[in-house]
Every structure is written in C-alpha cells, then in structure tokens.
Structure 1
C-alpha cells in the first residue's frame, strides 16, 4: 500500500472515531512541539510499554487507543499525512471540496472566484477551499486538481498534447 493510502486509511479511522477538534489540535501541538516524537514512537529499540506511557502522558485520553495503534504499527512519523487525510474527510463531511491551483502567477480575485464557481459546478460542491501553488515550470496557464480530477490548461500541457498528436500522425 502506498504512503498516501496508509495515511488515508488512518485518517479515515481517526475521523470515524469522532475525536473533538480540540483534542486533534492538542495532538498536532504535541508533534509540532516535540520534533523527534514520531521517531521515538516508531523506534523499535524503545519498548512498547514505554511508548504507551509516553502516549498516556502527553496526548488527550480520547486519542490513547488511536496513538497506541499508530505507534505499534510504526506509523507515528506519518502523523502529518494522517492529519491531512483526516482534514480531508472532515471537509468532505461538511460538503467542502479542497482544490489545488498550480499556476505561474496568482490569479486576480475575479479569476479566483470564477475557478471556485467552476469547481462547485463540476463537482457539485457546496463550498470550495482553493489553494494556490506557484509552479513556474507550467510556462503559462494553470492546472486545477480537485480530488482525483485534473484540469490542465497550462501552456506546458498544451505543448505536450501537440507533441502527442504529431507523434500519432
């Protein structure tokens, strides 16, 4: 299974547990405040019992079973990806779609809103969180990713299409 698949599975389980947002924030704070925590909880040289004691001391009680399982399966270093997947399931449950816009330069506010409306129409989304990521290698235009869909309106993408059509002839 890929790293993304593992993160998605753990993220789905974490979301399904119904842990409070405050406890999730506490977990994020623990990992942010102690950079080596994931390595410690994944370290095979540290006893399972010692890891469980650490978990019981620093994490909210509602997270103990989940964190013990994560640690027992040596997945604690993947917590950032697991939390990203968790947030995706949370957004999805609230009817919010996340979209990534890769572009050479940021769109103006009007274009930004038009792209959000496009995602709403295409995906039936109630609300859209659009994240802009600069990618100068696109040359011009943009690539829009929503879930497993990709809309490539970049100059690089158009050049690639032209090359493929010329090769087929």
Structure 2
C-alpha cells in the first residue's frame, strides 16, 4: 500500500488532472523499487489522459538519447549543477523536442525531487510496463560478433518458440567481443549463457580443481 500512496503523490505532483480521483491505474505488470514507483505513476497519468502511446514514444526517445549522447547522460547524473537550473534546462530541451506536457511535467518532478540521476532506471521500468501492455516479450541477445541476416533469422525463429500466440518479440541485439563466441540470451525471466567465454572458464575451473 505504501508504494501506491507514494505513486499517487508523484502523479499529483506532475499531473493534477490525472489524479483528481486519487486512484492509480493498475499496470499489466508490477515493477518494484523507486524506479518502479515513478514508472507506475507515469503510466497511470498517461492512461488517464489517453496519452500512453505519445508518452511511450517520449520515453523511447529519452532512452535513445541516454545511450547515444554521452553529454546528455552526464548532464542527468551531474551533481555539480543546481537542481533548479538542471530542471529548467531539461524542461526547455524536452519542450523544444516536442515532448507531451505530461512527459515534460514528469521530468520536472524528477528534477524537483532530485531523481534525474535515476532517469535510466525509471525510463526502463516504464518501457517494461508499456511493452507488456502491447503484448511484447523483451529479449536481449548478446553475441561476440554481429549476426548476419541468416543467423538473425534463425535466432528469431528459435525465440518465437518461447512465445504464445498473442505475444510479440521485442528483440535487442548487443555485441560483446569478450564472449569470444556463442551468445547469451535473456528472454522474460529466463537467461541462458551459451558463450565460449563461460565454457572456457568452466573447463579452466574444472582443471584447477582436478590438479589441486
């Protein structure tokens, strides 16, 4: 109950009209922690104002900015800037980018509460909720080298076997040369490590134990 009261307060802070009745719209999945509380508050406000798709697009844009723009990410985490100046600068940037009022107000609330450094986690939590809303299943595949078209097709076909009829695969691809070969796969709450690096370590540990 405490987490929902916290979320309701957050909703009222950045969207008075969305919290007139003081109720929180239940999300399709629960995300916990501080990030989850803010994410649920934003989801509830967006649904009440019928702007979920637009806010979802805003949060995807923020996520891309954090990953592609080092200066933007550093700005969010910087403890050197005054809270008010940081909030005003971010608000102006988002308005210039055409963000919805609800998204702008939300980030202003994060700034006022000193939570901008936690933007990455909050945005990821929100996108998990909207992904579930759309029937998507998040999947992250990490390989030592970039997959070619045929390999990617085979991987997608294999992953489809884990989905039900109404689910949609939301695939994220990453490259990590330290895997040496093979891949790691995280889909839903499942994780499989098929990397050569892990196999080498397992064999190395086995040899050490045998010779000890």
Q: Aligning the two structures, in what range does the TM-score lie when normalised by the shorter sequence?
A: 0.5 to 0.7
**Residue 129 (structure 1) aligned with residue 208 (structure 2):** no
Give the equivalent residue in structure 2 for 1:138: 179
**Residue 13 (structure 1) aligned with residue 28 (structure 2):** no
Give the equivalent residue in structure 2 for 1:22: 54
Q: Compared with structure 1, are the counterparts of its residues 150 and 81 closer, same or farther at alpha carbon in structure 2 (3 Å cutoff)?
A: same
Query: Any idea what SS the aligned residue of 1:140 has?
Result: coil
Judge conservation of contact 1:91–1:97 (CA < 8 Å) in 2: yes
The size of the alignment, in residue pairs, is 160
After TM superposition, the score normalised by the length of structure 2 is 0.56
Judge conservation of contact 2:137–2:168 (CA < 8 Å) in 1: yes
Give the equivalent residue in structure 1 for 2:114: 74
1:139-159 Cα distance to aligned partner (Å, 9 max, x none): 111111224321111111112
CA RMSD of aligned residues (A): 3.9
User: Which runs of 5 or more structure 2 residues have no equivalent in the other structure?
Assistant: 1-31, 66-70
**Residue 109 (structure 1) aligned with residue 149 (structure 2):** yes
After TM superposition, the score normalised by the length of structure 1 is 0.67
Distance 1:26 1:151 in 2: 32
Q: Which of 190, 201, 206 pairs up with 1:160?
A: 201
Q: Compared with structure 1, are the counterparts of its residues 165 and 16 closer, same or farther at alpha carbon in structure 2 (3 Å cutoff)?
A: farther
Q: Compared with structure 1, are the counterparts of its residues 17 and 163 closer, same or farther at alpha carbon in structure 2 (3 Å cutoff)?
A: farther
User: Which runs of 5 or more structure 1 residues have no equivalent in the other structure?
Assistant: none
